[in-house]
Copies of this chain bind each other. A is one copy, B any other.
Amino acid sequence: MFESAELGHSIDNKTFRKEVEALRVELLNVQFELREAGKFPVMLLISGVDGGGKSETINQLYEWLDPRFLSTLAFSEPTDEERDRPHMWRYWRSLPPKGRIGVFAGSWYSSPIADRIDGKLTADETDHEMARINRFEGMLANEGALVLKFWFHLSKKAQRARFEKLESDPRTAWRVTKESWSRLKTHDELIDVAGHVLRITNTPWAPWIVVDGSDDNYRNLRVGKALLEALKYRLANDTPQHYPVAPPIPPRIDGRDVLTALDLSKQIEKDTYERQLAKWQGRLSELVRHPKFRNRALVLAFEGSDAAGKGGAIRRVTAAIDARQFQIVPVAAPTDEERAQPYLWRFWRHVPRKGRITIFDRTWYGRVLVERVEGFCAEADWLRAYAEINDFEHALDVAGVIVVKFWLQIDADEQLRRFNEREATDFKRFKITEEDWRNRDKWDAYREAVCDMVDRTSTGQAPWTLVEANDKKHARIKVLKTVCQRLEKELGL
């Protein structure tokens, strides 16, 4: 992995200056094209051995590129807002939007590598983490991002020489700290761990570029040229290379599916409803105030046919919770800031802090429901979404966020009845649109999409609860009861 980086590459100043002259013009031109096109972001990960010239190269990039459209994302100790959420949240919130270049000084590799060296992660855990990173970067690549990962290598000898040189110059002496020298001591371990990490994350969609860090001219030029070539290629080849997605979904061969299996005639009487409602709302109110919940969080995901009663069910849930503890996120068309980011970004930004609750009225499943059925995204995009969604929910779960997902199902007759009722009721009239009527025509396509969604995303820690919703009372009680029982289980009560 690091052999070529120890050959002693170097470039003299004269050659460097000559090369840079042409390089800079080209870099400014492609950066301008990148910005004008606004079609994809560039993520530049600058990693490597301490003293390997990371900050020098980043600063060099600022000289070569238009610094106004360059951001450096630095990650030191997480803030309390970050610590209260899944560990990838801080990276999601920092992703550069389309058209911009984000330089990651430190990245999602930093903690796993450090933790492995310190023995906080086992070899197996490290590999699991790397598998997760591979999928994350695969998602970024599929969303169009150009991901370039650099590792600046130094042999132990070269690292020592570098520290000594920095220390000898009063202008740079401040950069060598006690930590630097202690890093020299763990140089061998770092090379071991990094070698392994780089090897298993050296994917076709986000390969590593290992660079000899000892010579400033060589290192900077290597990075500058690699960036230039990658950008030129990507700008000339409109569609990114998709990394393999799942094969298309095989058709069902009998008429049975999870929706036909539902008994939509289920209902409960008004009296029972009132009693049950009071019971489960009371219970929910206790559960979200339980001391054990302070270290967890809750995400409620509501999907369902139009007019299936999502809003009504949500109200019965929120009525039991103090308004300061939850937020409802109604999912509509993305804003332009959201469109400039990977699909899941607009959901990541609403991930609740510890002790808080986010309720999504329609969710990230839009991709495999409406976007699939209406053809708003390519087949490859919704096919890969299942795995990306499972990864997202897994990340929530690992961080202690409890994910509860509901699909509210009504039949076509009941839907028609409700549409007509809504049109006739003054304050409900805004709930029904042209689009709702059009969607009815695609009843079977939606049904198919829902069944596939349940098959592919009803996972152990984030199972779907299918709710028979022809009777609103039954549906509301089932939702409340499910939330409560799940909370009890998760909190061990």
Contacts and interface: CB of A to CB of B under 8 A. Distances in A.
Interface of A is mostly: helix
Nearest to A72: B323
Given A55-B322, A58-B323, A174-B289, A311 B66 contact: yes
B63 A315 contact: yes
A336 interface: yes
Interface string A327-350: 110100001110000000000000
A70 interface: yes
A324 B105 contact: yes
Interface string A54-87: 0100110111001111111010000111000000
Among A68, A79, A103, the one with the most B-chain Cβ atoms within 10 Å of its Cβ is A68
Interface string A104-116: 0100000000000
A323 B171 contact: no
A267 interface: no
Interface residues of A, number: 50
A280 to B, nearest CB: 14
Given A68-B314, A315-B63, A427-B28, A323 B80 contact: no
How many identical subunits does the complex contain?
A: 2
Interface in A284-343: 285, 289, 311, 314-315, 318-319, 322-328, 330, 335-337
A430 B80 CA distance: 42
Contacts of A324: 55, 58, 72, 74, 105
A262 interface: no
A13 B418 CA distance: 31
B68 A311 contact: yes
Among A66, A67, A74, A361, the one with the most B-chain Cβ atoms within 10 Å of its Cβ is A67
A482 interface: no
A485 interface: no
Given A29-B427, A61-B323, A81-B81, 8 more contacts: A36-B430, A62-B318, A62-B323, A69-B330, A71-B327, A79-B79, A79-B80, A171-B282
